[in-house]
A and B are shown apart, each in its own frame.
Chain A
Amino acid sequence: MTVVIFSGLVSGSVLLLATVGFELVRRVEGFLNIAHPQLMVVAGFTAFSLNRQAGWNWVVACVVAVLITTVVGVVTARIVFWPLRGRPHYIPMIASVGLAYFINAMVELLTGHGVKTLDVPLFETVRINDVPVAGVDRIAVVVLAGLVVIALHLWLSRSYSGRALRAMASNQALAEVRGVNTGYLQYLAWAVASALAGLAGVLIAITARIYAELGWDQILLVAAAAIIGGLGSVYGAMVASVVVGLTSSVATLVIPTQYTQLLVFAVIGLVVFLRPEGLFSGPKERVA
């Protein structure tokens, strides 16, 4: 049972990293970036190439992979999404589908098909009361996610740029008038979001396997967590991610694995129908 719960925590932690970035972009840009989880694939495959093909140390490979992914995220934002601002909000979302296809295809073309793993040392399994819980690497994932949550919280609530970002998310024009350097902040937001996605990707590569379809497999979970958490709330996204991770994991005790996704989506359907603002909502929208 502990194994299952912990496993849920791990997948929830990874999902958290991916979803927070997704939610950040939604807050700042106003659309759902369907291509966001593709950055996880980019990071994982880059780490793989550097580690297995170029022979780099796995830690270095991962760090560099995250950096590269951040750059990719910011550049694609600049080229594809920023010019689309001002158009109805579904336009960048549709463009992001195109981008997801493009990135996915490029990764496949460059690194080939199939499942990849990193060349990492064997991690010891941690035991509690002589019951194996999880490997050190997976515990590290949870700890890392926790650190990220704290860091984000501090950043968003204390630092100038973090608070400015929240101001921007609520009302960009007003923020500009008050002297907020929205240009730099936009880069920052995308960079943070992309870095988080990259981090999630390398963590998956380290603790499990990375494969090209991951980008498409994850988008539904990410979107689900974002919706359940309430579009507009970064903290909600965090909580929801962990909940989703735990639920799908614990659910495997009761229902066959193939149906856990179904369960998650049934939950989205329920949430959408009963409480569309999600569990924690962000700023309410005025109607007229």
Chain B
Amino acid sequence: MNRPSPAIEIRNVTKSFGELRALDGVSMSIAANGVTGLIGPNGSGKTTLFNAVTGFLKPDSGTVLFNGRDVTALPTHTLARLGVKRTFQNIADLSGVSVIENLLSSVRGVPGESLWRVFASPRKVAAAEDRVVERAWHLLDRTGLSRLANTMAGDLSIGQGRLLQIARLLMQPPRVLMLDEPSSGLNPDDQHRLSATVRELRDREDMTVLVIEHNMAFINAISDELYVMHDGKVIAHGEASAVVRDPLVIETYLGARRVDA
């Protein structure tokens, strides 16, 4: 079900670190219920954009809208509760905690989060906890991580860690999911699985997905639309097949890559 207005609108966002202009007037329109890819050379500002949109960094100027609502510079946790969640480039789990505990930690709005209620209404808290645990097991089954439930998250392989990140985000599915290089370090099998999962999220859960990637094959397979960044600016955008033929894109990013490959 396509909505006319974009899920995320980024308008003219700039961010400098001292003299370095990491984001130079970036504007994007992320379509709802679709998968949008974000590619570009290292240092072009992709992760910085994620950080600026999700409250890890405060933009120097510009606006970010989520479903028409101005969310610029809202704190990260508020955005997460509104339904905008992200993953991190390096494996970022709660590594000293077990897999299932990672999932349990991902649910907000549980009565047990309030110390007062923990002691004032123990039965409600216990019932809610049961429900959360059940959901956690369900997701573990779905992602195939069940037998790892009680393993320390820090002991997982990269592929398993990525799955855990996704499972964690699905405990309370966001409206917008921002993935930062999800396929890096994954073997082809895991990549396929990830690819399928992302498409499933788009189709069955009506999620809007924004993906930073370097793996062209991977991103081509899943995205409806591509944005290309270079030096803090958006230099191209459109349908994947068209963008990869854009001469500017080839010159700054893809062409160089072909030489390397």
Chain B binds chain A: yes
- Give the B-binding residues of A (Cβ under 8 A): 284, 287-288
In the complex, chain A residues whose CB is within 8 Å of the CB of B12: none
Across the interface, do B17 and A287 meet the contact criterion of CB distance under 8 Å? no
Across the interface, do B17 and A284 meet the contact criterion of CB distance under 8 Å? yes
- Give the A-binding residues of B (Cβ under 8 A): 17, 47, 51, 56-57, 88
What's the least CB distance linking B192 to chain A, in Å? 28
What's the least CB distance linking B64 to chain A, in Å? 17
Q: List 8 A-B contacts (CB under 8 A).
A: A284-B17, A287-B51, A287-B56, A287-B57, A288-B47, A288-B51, A288-B56, A288-B88
What's the least CB distance linking A173 to chain B, in Å? 15
Instruction: Tell me the bound Cα distance from A71 to B183 in angstroms.
Output: 51
In the complex, chain A residues whose CB is within 8 Å of the CB of B57: 287
In the complex, chain A residues whose CB is within 8 Å of the CB of B17: 284
Instruction: Tell me the bound Cα distance from A284 to B18 in angstroms.
Output: 10
Chief secondary structure at chain A's binding surface: loop
6 extra interface residue pairs, beta carbon distance < 8 Å, beyond A287-B51, A288-B56 = A284-B17, A287-B56, A287-B57, A288-B47, A288-B51, A288-B88
In the complex, chain B residues whose CB is within 8 Å of the CB of A288: 47, 51, 56, 88
Instruction: Tell me the bound Cα distance from A288 to B51 in angstroms.
Output: 7
In the complex, chain A residues whose CB is within 8 Å of the CB of B51: 287-288
The chain A residue sitting closest to B180, CB to CB, is A288
Instruction: Tell me the bound Cα distance from A87 to B56 in angstroms.
Output: 25
What's the least CB distance linking A170 to chain B, in Å? 14
In the complex, chain B residues whose CB is within 8 Å of the CB of A287: 51, 56-57
Sorted nearest first, the 7 A-B pairs with minimum C-beta distance are A287-B56, A288-B56, A288-B51, A288-B88, A287-B51, A287-B57, A284-B17
Instruction: Tell me the bound Cα distance from A287 to B88 in angstroms.
Output: 11
The chain A residue sitting closest to B55, CB to CB, is A287
What's the least CB distance linking B52 to chain A, in Å? 11
The chain B residue sitting closest to A288, CB to CB, is B56
Instruction: Tell me the bound Cα distance from A134 to B17 in angstroms.
Output: 47
What's the least CB distance linking A281 to chain B, in Å? 11
